[in-house]
């Protein structure tokens, strides 16, 4: 046991050293899409239902950006190789040649990818967020008829996830680690408050478990309030994650929430709950934003069971198409994004995984007709 503790201590020291290097190398180069002459959009199919729903979102982008694609100001590039089979064969969450293709793009539209249970293979999403420094995960949930208009800002590169594949095991015990840094927290908090200021929002909720996780969540809360002091017109309230999951179900209290700021794990969980209120995780898109790169995706997984049941054609592409709308706004194509968002709201066709309604392709056909 003494030797095992010594080895664990050495492993922990190595992790701490790596995190200090990560902090020093945090990317600060910003891309200004309002002046960028050529924007390259990388398309990554993913696993399971990923290729099915990503193909439909790509059709929509090609329709809305047809003139710019023809003129060369928009380039759509298919990126191959980020499949579970290739990742397992290479033993890498993102094979090196695939990462090179990814970094040659400005923004990505990415289908869901499968992460193996157990073992040491890191999630492709976690690896991509780290490699591209995509620190802000932005997930909107809007249900007008229930007076719900929420924007979640989830810290995307720290918390439990940054070291989720690097814990240590001792006889009879396993330990994982959670990381919260000053810089990482400050920039996600600033992103949330800037969004609130620029979009007429006056309420930010900071959600942690700081009463229990006193060092990490305590730091997150403290720094969020330091940033909040620079925005005196915005009200800030603290909530614990357990009560917030209940509050999102509590009427009319939930109507007061506007911008919700959370560490990584809590944000991952609670945004699935919020999406379910909107109509299910199949209806929700997600943005992963950094200063240089951005990646847009559905919030759900690759749904291999749908393929096993032979129902892949009925996978709902709305999540990926909503992600495509977020991508358009990010690259300053607001008019195209607005057209797509309006079409999504008025599309008369529905998709259900039981096959009782339209296929993914039929839904997209109807959407394109509205465009």
Structure confidence by residue, pLDDT tens digits, 296-334: 998 888 988 999 999 999 999 999 999 999 999 999 999
Q: At what angle do helices 360-370 and 334-346 cross, to 10 degrees?
A: 120
Question: pLDDT band for position 353 (50/70/90)?
Answer: confident
Judged against a pLDDT cut of 80, whether residue 90 lies above it is answered with: yes
Greatest extent of the chain over all pairs of C-alpha atoms, in Å:
68
Judged against a pLDDT cut of 90, whether residue 36 lies above it is answered with: yes
Q: Going by DSSP bridges, is the β-strand pair 259-262/285-289 parallel, antiparallel, or unpaired?
A: unpaired
Give every CB contact of residue 58 below 8 A, 6+ residues apart in sequence.
Answer: 43, 76, 109
Question: pLDDT band for position 28 (50/70/90)?
Answer: low
CB 122 within 8 A of CB 94: no
Higher pLDDT, 118 or 280: 280
Question: pLDDT band for position 136 (50/70/90)?
Answer: very high
Judged against a pLDDT cut of 70, whether residue 209 lies above it is answered with: yes
Residue 77 dihedral angles phi and psi, to the nearest 5°:
-125, 125
Judged against a pLDDT cut of 80, whether residue 100 lies above it is answered with: yes
Q: Identify the pLDDT of residue 179.
A: 93
Fold of 31-134+290-371: Isopropylmalate Dehydrogenase (3.40.718)
Q: Domain map of the chain by residue range?
A: 31-134+290-371
List the catalytic residues. Answer: 161, 209, 242, 268, 272
Phi-psi region of 259 (alpha: psi -120 to 50; beta: other; left: phi over 0): beta
Judged against a pLDDT cut of 80, whether residue 119 lies above it is answered with: no
Give every CB contact of residue 168 below 8 A, 6+ residues apart in sequence.
Answer: 7, 8, 11, 12, 174, 175
Phi-psi region of 279 (alpha: psi -120 to 50; beta: other; left: phi over 0): left
Count of residues making up the chain: 371
Predicted model pTM: 0.85
pLDDT tens figures, 212-263: 999 999 999 999 999 999 999 999 999 999 999 999 999 999 999 999 999 9
Q: What's the N-to-C CA distance of the chain in angstroms? A: 66
Residue 311 dihedral angles phi and psi, to the nearest 5°:
-110, 20
> Stretch 180-201: mean pLDDT, rounded?
95
Judged against a pLDDT cut of 80, whether residue 27 lies above it is answered with: no
Judged against a pLDDT cut of 70, whether residue 38 lies above it is answered with: yes
CA distances from 40 to 33, 208, 291, 336 (A): 11, 37, 16, 17
Q: Identify the pLDDT of residue 9.
A: 84
């Amino acid at each position: 046991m003494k030797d095992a503790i010594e080895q664990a201590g050495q492993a922990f020291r190595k992790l701490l050293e790596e995190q200090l290097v990560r902090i020093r190398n945090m990317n600060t180069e910003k891309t200004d899409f309002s002046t960028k002459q050529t924007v390259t959009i990388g398309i990554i199919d993913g696993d399971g239902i990923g290729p099915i729903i990503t193909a439909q979102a790509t059709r929509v982008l090609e329709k809305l950006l047809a003139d710019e694609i023809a003129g060369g100001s928009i380039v759509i590039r298919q990126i191959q190789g980020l499949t579970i089979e290739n990742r397992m064969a290479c033993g890498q969450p993102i094979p090196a040649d695939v990462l090179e293709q990814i970094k040659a793009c400005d923004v990505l539209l990415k289908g869901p990818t499968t992460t193996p249970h157990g073992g040491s293979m890191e999630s492709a999403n976690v690896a991509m967020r780290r490699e591209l420094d995509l620190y802000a995960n932005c997930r909107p949930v809007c249900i007008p008829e229930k007076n719900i208009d929420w924007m979640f800002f989830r810290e995307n590169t720290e918390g439990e996830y940054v070291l989720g594949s690097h814990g240590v095991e001792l006889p009879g015990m396993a330990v994982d680690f959670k990381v919260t840094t000053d810089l990482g927290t400050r920039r996600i908090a600033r992103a949330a408050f800037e969004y609130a200021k620029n979009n007429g929002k006056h309420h930010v909720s900071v959600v942690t478990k700081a009463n229990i996780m006193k060092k990490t969540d305590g730091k997150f809360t403290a720094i969020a309030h330091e940033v909040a002091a620079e925005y005196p017109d915005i009200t800030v309230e603290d909530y614990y994650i357990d009560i917030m999951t209940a509050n999102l179900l509590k009427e009319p209290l939930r109507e007061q929430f506007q911008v919700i700021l959370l560490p990584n794990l809590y944000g991952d969980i609670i945004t699935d709950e919020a999406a379910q209120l909107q109509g299910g995780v199949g209806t929700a898109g997600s943005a992963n934003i950094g200063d240089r790169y951005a990646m847009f995706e559905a919030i759900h997984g690759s749904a291999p069971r749908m393929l096993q049941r032979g129902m892949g054609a009925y996978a709902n592409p709305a999540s990926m198409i909503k992600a495509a709308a977020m991508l358009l706004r990010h690259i300053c194509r607001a008019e195209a994004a607005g057209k797509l968002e309006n079409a999504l709201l008025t599309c008369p066709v529905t998709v259900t995984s039981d096959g009782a309604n339209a296929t993914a392709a039929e839904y997209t056909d109807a959407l394109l007709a509205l465009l």
